[in-house]
Amino acid sequence: MSGWERIRSSRSRLGGSDSRAPSSRTVRLGRVQPQAPGHRTIYCNDREANLPVRFKGNSISTTKYNVFTFLPKGLFEQFSPVHPITNVVPLSLVLFVSLVKEAFEDWKRLQNDKSINNALVDVLLDQKWERIPWKKLQVGDIVKVRQDGFFPADILFLAGTNPDGVCYIETANLDGETNLKIRKALEKTWDYLTPEKASEFKALESEVQCEQPNNSLYTFTGNLIIQKQTLPLSPNQILLRGCSLRNTEYIVGAVIFTGHETKVMMNAMNVPSKRSTLERKLDKLILALFGGLFLMCLIGAIASGIFINRKYYYLGLGASVENQFNPSNRFLVALLTMFTLITLYSTIIPISLYVSIEMIKFIQSTQFINKDLHMYHAETNTPALARTSNLNEELGQVEYIFSDKTGTLTRNLMEFFKCSIGGEVYGTGITEIEKGGAERSGIKLEEVHKSSNAIVEKGFNFDDARLMRGAWRNEPDPDTCKEFFRCLAICHTVLPEGDESPEKVTYQAASPDEEALVTAAKNFGFFFYRRTPTTIYVRESHVEKMGKVQDVTYEILNVLEFNSTRKRQSVVCRYPDGRLVLYCKGADSVIYERLGDVNGDLKKKTREHLEQFGSAGLRTLCLAYRDLTTDLYEHWNEKFIQAKSSLRDREKKLDEVAEIIEKDLVLIGCTAIEDKLQEGVPSCIETLSRAGIKIWVLTGDKMETAINIAYACNLINNNMKQFIISSDTDAIREVEERGDQVEIARFIKDSVCADLKKYQEEAQQYLHTISGPKLALVIDGKCLMYALDPNLRGMLLNLSLNCTSVVCCRVSPLQKAQVTSLVKKGARKITLSIGDGANDVSMIQAAHVGVGISGLEGMQAVMASDFAIAQFRFLTDLLLVHGRWSYLRICKVVTYFFYKNLTFTLTQFWFTFQTGFSGQRFYDDWFQSLYNVIFTALPVIIVGLFDQDVSESLSKKYPELYKEGIRDSFFKWRVVGIWAFFSFYQSLVFYHFVTASSSSPQNSSGKMFGLWDVSTMAFTCVVVTVNLRLLMLCNSITRWHYISVAGSVFAWFIFIFIYSGVMTPYDRQENVFFVIYVLMSTFYFYLALLLVPVAALLGDFIYLGVQRWFFPYDYQIIQEMYRHEPDQSSRSELLDIRNDLTPDEARSYAISQLPREKSKHTGFAFDSPGYESFFASQQGVYAPQKAWDVARRASMRSGTRTGKKK
């Protein structure tokens, strides 16, 4: 502090408030003093002194817009996909709907913000508590928060009503964890509970020096200097905004960070805006339509400049004619005609497509995905949740899945399963992974039956009579057993709740592993039942003699906390008899480095047991202890207090001090905890693999455990060729022992490079053989760090893409995101990431689609995800059913929109050739405006919601169907080209068949049809035809299809009856006055209405027949196989969850079981059994050759298909 004091004297009070390059802030709890450099001074309970600094207020805003930015920003958002500017009515409707939706969503955010900002809190003003809104809270205020209340800002905990200055908080809003956390005030401030006492801060020479606002939820660095004594502050004294107070009457604290500077608000990042691959391709299609529009307008404009001529005397193109038709200036004529034609042909751009797709996706998400009973988890009462509707169809094209292991593939329900104490293994169970490994090796394991008196409890699945009920006293080394149990009971940060009895106590732990270990200690007879900040109470049984129970109090002197760098946790405690002991538990690699020389043979034996447990898929921890002398401890504790008081690099200094005492440890043994696989994971992975999806596992576990989990999940099997790139080799260990970091980095990089080259060559050899094995790659985090180097990244990607399965172990959250981005950007494949913890958030946000598991590691993964499910196995339904259906439906909606708009616009284009390219309209303005909005709008939405090629059960029975989505079979440019061809053909039919009627008299009075008669007849044929074409497009037809199509056609007739029957002098309505009545009085109208749609659809009819016969899609073959069978989705497959439902939900469920209308497959159903595909073997049917089989094979594209003959 001496250096700071020298600088402090040269700084003025206000000069110190410059925060341009600050690293920490100073909170003043007393009279004014000059500042240290880079610190901000906050005067507690002194608002006037804080005014010059202008700290941010406590009001927060999460809205997307404000009054001034709504229109410009909202319109920008709507035009961000390639929205064109075209006819006023459809465009206005589209923008209005979109802006109303945006405004409504933002209004809900605003209401939420208001309710939060206006919540009340007690603040110390003039030596008494006054209730003010949160938004008026300022930095430096002293606040009182009551039980179950939320903290309005980031607060320094000064005092609480609980003894020993302790309070309990729940952090569910931060990380989803409902287990309570303990916070402890500094002893110096315990008595600042009353307004009078808290007001003394002004009089005391006290200040708080702390870090600047940042987004790190779990770190805090600061010092409280009170009466010239420096006391270190840690996260244990900080109460974060968003957390709530539990089991404490009230607390008093000083506000440190407010509003958007609080840690929770600095973590409130926007989820990256994701657009589906199909939408980006749609943008290209819209650009292509713009190109077509420009080309059509250019042709018309040039032709009008050429056509215009005074020789056409009947056009009256005299000297006084307007510029657009003045032959003297042909360039101007062409230019003005260009603008006219742009308006005329603008219907080619499907403006309402985006709104229709958005509506379809929204209903798909809220009504189909969120309410799917097959994705409802009854045990936790958790349904699936689509958090965004932008990516529904992306679910149908996923090729790579990146999955976390713990809590995603496994249950994250830890159970104490086995242990090794003093070189002896205890525990008799067999894990699921051991069973799977035995099956692969062809070994039959005998079923191990639990003993009749085995204890069954959550977190404890251990069975071995040698340790239970005091039997450990008879073991060869009972003292080591005693140390083992005490280490479990003392070395932790668990909080007990409830009655102080083994049956009724519940443990609140930071992780399921911690809870399992403390539960194990309880069942071994060392019952931890109470804790204070400085003591732990353990009820020990059978220690001195069998049957004797005694309560022992252990004084906790220091806690060296677990973090991802240390990978261990230590506690220094004092026994009642004065014995000083350091207990340590942590990862084997870390503990073994710190063992003393006395362990000898025990190290080797325990190492073997660790490998044995790891190969069984168990999570292992090593336990060790060290006896301390009083002098050694006192000398070390001084250094520890100094490190805790350090304002800079505190974590680093604490780690260095911990290294001093965490050495010369005595090994006790190790624990083995089982994290069981989730139900249905192996079959789900096998199904997804058959669907052409490649699954990668990215985990922080060690390699042996990860490989065994991969075996248990069917990701890896013995038939696969495994490529293993590991840093745990003799050569690398030898280099690491020398300690030269530069040399280590160079050696590992060269080693990884050599492995990648070697394996890439091997992979190419295997891939060129006809029946080569499938490939699997296993790589650890250290090697992955070098493999992701820009020079090696390409080799890693090529090798990975050739492998069926990839397992990355010991990887950091950042590496998870890097691997995901590597495939997403490098291979341009559609990726999905799935995880359940905060460490999976970056991976979830990096992928095209992020899926969160709502599990036991909090809700951060879910909050960052696009879709949330309760179990990994639900991916089958999410991808193979909803994803595939959504992709198929959206493809049909997009291509159909393209078809109907192009068809409609081309009829106008052909008419331009007969009008001297003058820009004369073929259709009335209102026809053109309402074509997309009313007359063809509803049927396509019905298709987008209800079209279904095969049933849900068949989608899962034949997962190979999903490959069509991966190949993007239904939205290729070839498919768009086919639709364009038939649009071209149909527009010619509409125009020429109908205009032929204008060449001779058609009604009884001998009058010929005029322009508006012909155009109205043509428009009627267009509306009828495009709606009928939609029915030909459907795979399944329900009553809603019939209602929407018939309703659209009737809507046109009702509109034209009213529109042509009313005459007003203010518009061009006189053009079509009485037109429909004249048309319907002629036989020709009915003949055209019958024949024109038939002639227009004849080409589509023939094409669909030929395509289905000779070049069928996979789903069409399935339709043929099951066309005589009822819908395959048997009702017995529905989950039996009625007992878990409310009466209203149960009624809805019962209604869903009632008989309903079956979907009817449309299209051609031929009798030919000659479909050769991967489905043939499923049937095992042989049929004699028929003539058309030969014809079909002769007409097929070059390239043979393999498979059995049906």
User: Do 1129 and 1036 form a contact (C-beta atoms < 8 A)?
Assistant: no
Structure tokens at 969: 């079979």
3-state helix, strand, coil in the chain (%, to 5): 50, 15, 35
Three-state SS sequence of 16-42: HHCCCCCCEEEEECCCCCCCCCCCCEE
Query: Across residues 742-754, what is the average pLDDT?
Result: 89
pLDDT at 9: 35
> How does residue 90 score in pLDDT terms, banded at 50, 70 and 90?
low
> How does residue 145 score in pLDDT terms, banded at 50, 70 and 90?
very high
> How does residue 1205 score in pLDDT terms, banded at 50, 70 and 90?
very low
Q: What are phi and psi of 53, to 5 degrees?
A: -80, -25
> At residue 245, does pLDDT exceed 70?
yes
> How does residue 54 score in pLDDT terms, banded at 50, 70 and 90?
confident
By mean pLDDT, which of 124-133, 316-325, 685-694 is the weakest? 316-325
- Edge-to-edge, what's the strand order for the sheet holding 222-226? 41-43, 24-28, 206-211, 222-226, 229-233
pLDDT at 626: 94
pLDDT at 1127: 56
pLDDT digit string (tens) for 783-839?
Answer: 998 898 888 989 999 999 989 899 998 887 788 888 999 999 988 899 999 988 767
pLDDT at 13: 34
Q: Quick one: how far is CA 1091 from the chain centroid? A: 52
pLDDT digit string (tens) for 326-384?
Answer: 777 788 888 888 888 888 888 888 878 888 888 899 899 889 999 999 999 888 888 99
Residues ≥6 apart with Cβ < 8 Å to 781: 700, 808, 809, 810, 811, 812, 815
Query: Across residues 389-412, what is the average pLDDT?
Result: 87
State what percent of residues in the chain have pLDDT above 70. 79
pLDDT digit string (tens) for 474-504?
Answer: 888 899 999 999 999 999 988 887 788 888 8
> At residue 1204, does pLDDT exceed 60?
no
The mean predicted confidence, pLDDT, of the chain is 80
Angular region, 436: left φ>0, alpha ψ -120 to 50, beta rest: alpha
CA distance 918 to 324: 9
Query: Across residues 925-947, what is the average pLDDT?
Result: 89
> DSSP assignment of 834-872, as one string?
EE-SGGGHHHHHHSSEEEEE-SSS-SHHHHT-SEEESSG
Alpha-helical runs (H) found in 583-701: 588-593, 601-615, 630-645, 650-661, 681-690
CA distance 379 to 893: 38
Identify the residue with better confidence: 738 or 1014: 1014
Identify the residue with better confidence: 1145 or 648: 648
> At residue 1044, does pLDDT exceed 90?
yes
> At residue 855, does pLDDT exceed 90?
no
By mean pLDDT, which of 565-569, 837-841, 914-918, 1135-1139 is the weakest? 1135-1139
Q: Quick one: how far is CA 659 from the chain centroid? A: 39
CA distance 1016 to 1020: 6
Write the CA distances from 420 to 1, 241, 581, 673, integer angstroms. Answer: 49, 44, 21, 12
Q: What are phi and psi of 984, to 5 degrees?
A: -60, -45
pLDDT at 1031: 92
pLDDT digit string (tens) for 13-53?
Answer: 333 333 333 344 544 443 333 333 345 566 666 677 667 77
pLDDT at 1130: 42
pLDDT at 1170: 39
Q: What are phi and psi of 131, to 5 degrees?
A: -90, 120
Structure tokens at 324: 């657009």
By mean pLDDT, which of 436-440, 585-589, 759-763, 900-904 is the weakest? 436-440
The Cα diameter of the chain in Å comes to: 126
CA distance 44 to 46: 5
CA distance 633 to 573: 11
CA distance 279 to 390: 9
User: Do 237 and 156 form a contact (C-beta atoms < 8 A)?
Assistant: yes
Decide: helix, strand or coil at residue 528.
strand
pLDDT digit string (tens) for 528-574?
Answer: 998 887 899 999 988 877 878 899 999 999 988 876 667 889 999 99
pLDDT at 518: 95
Would you name the residues annotated as active-site residues?
404
Q: Which amino acid is at 1088?
A: A
pLDDT at 1167: 36
Query: Across residues 385-389, what is the average pLDDT?
Result: 84
> DSSP assignment of 1102-1157, as one string?
HHHHHHHHHS--HHHHHHHHTTTS--S--GGGS---GGGS-HHHHHHHHHHTS--P
> At residue 1050, does pLDDT exceed 90?
yes
Report which of 707, 708, 752, 746 is spatially closest to residue 729, judged by C-alpha positions: 752
Report which of 898, 913, 921, 1019 is spatially closest to residue 292, judged by C-alpha positions: 898
pLDDT at 1154: 55
> How does residue 105 score in pLDDT terms, banded at 50, 70 and 90?
low
> At residue 6, does pLDDT exceed 60?
no
pLDDT digit string (tens) for 298-335?
Answer: 998 888 888 887 666 667 676 667 767 777 778 888 88
Report which of 160, 210, 168 is spatially closest to residue 189, judged by C-alpha positions: 160
When mean pLDDT is compared over 2-11, 142-151, 699-708, 910-919, the highest value belongs to 142-151
Q: Is the dihedral of CA 423, 429, 435, 438 positive or negative?
A: positive
By mean pLDDT, which of 366-375, 611-620, 747-756 is the weakest? 611-620
Distance from the first to the final alpha carbon of the chain: 88
> At residue 1156, does pLDDT exceed 50?
no
Write the CA distances from 717 to 796, 807, 907, integer angstroms. Answer: 22, 13, 61
Global pTM? 0.70
State what percent of residues in the chain have pLDDT above 90. 31
User: Do 630 and 554 form a contact (C-beta atoms < 8 A)?
Assistant: no
User: Do 485 and 525 form a contact (C-beta atoms < 8 A)?
Assistant: yes
Burial track 215-245 (b if 16+ CB lie within 10 A, e otherwise): eebeebbbbbbbeeeebbbbbbbbbbbbbbb
pLDDT digit string (tens) for 961-1013?
Answer: 999 999 999 999 999 999 999 999 999 999 988 887 666 656 666 666 777 88
Decide: helix, strand or coil at residue 912.
helix
Report which of 1162, 1154, 880, 902 is spatially closest to residue 1026, judged by C-alpha positions: 902
Query: Across residues 843-855, what is the average pLDDT?
Result: 87
CA distance 823 to 635: 53
pLDDT at 19: 35
> DSSP assignment of 208-237, as one string?
EEEEPP-S-TT---EEEEETTEEEEE-GGG
Residues ≥6 apart with Cβ < 8 Å to 592: 603, 607, 622
Residues ≥6 apart with Cβ < 8 Å to 235: 218, 219, 220
pLDDT at 14: 35
Write the CA distances from 922 to 210, 1016, 1017, 1023, integer angstroms. Answer: 75, 9, 11, 15
pLDDT at 267: 64
pLDDT at 1005: 65
Query: Across residues 1148-1168, what is the average pLDDT?
Result: 46
pLDDT digit string (tens) for 156-169?
Answer: 999 998 766 878 88
> At residue 651, does pLDDT exceed 90?
no
Identify the residue with better confidence: 66 or 703: 703
pLDDT digit string (tens) for 415-455?
Answer: 899 999 999 999 988 887 777 667 656 676 666 667 666 77
Angular region, 126: left φ>0, alpha ψ -120 to 50, beta rest: left
pLDDT at 683: 87
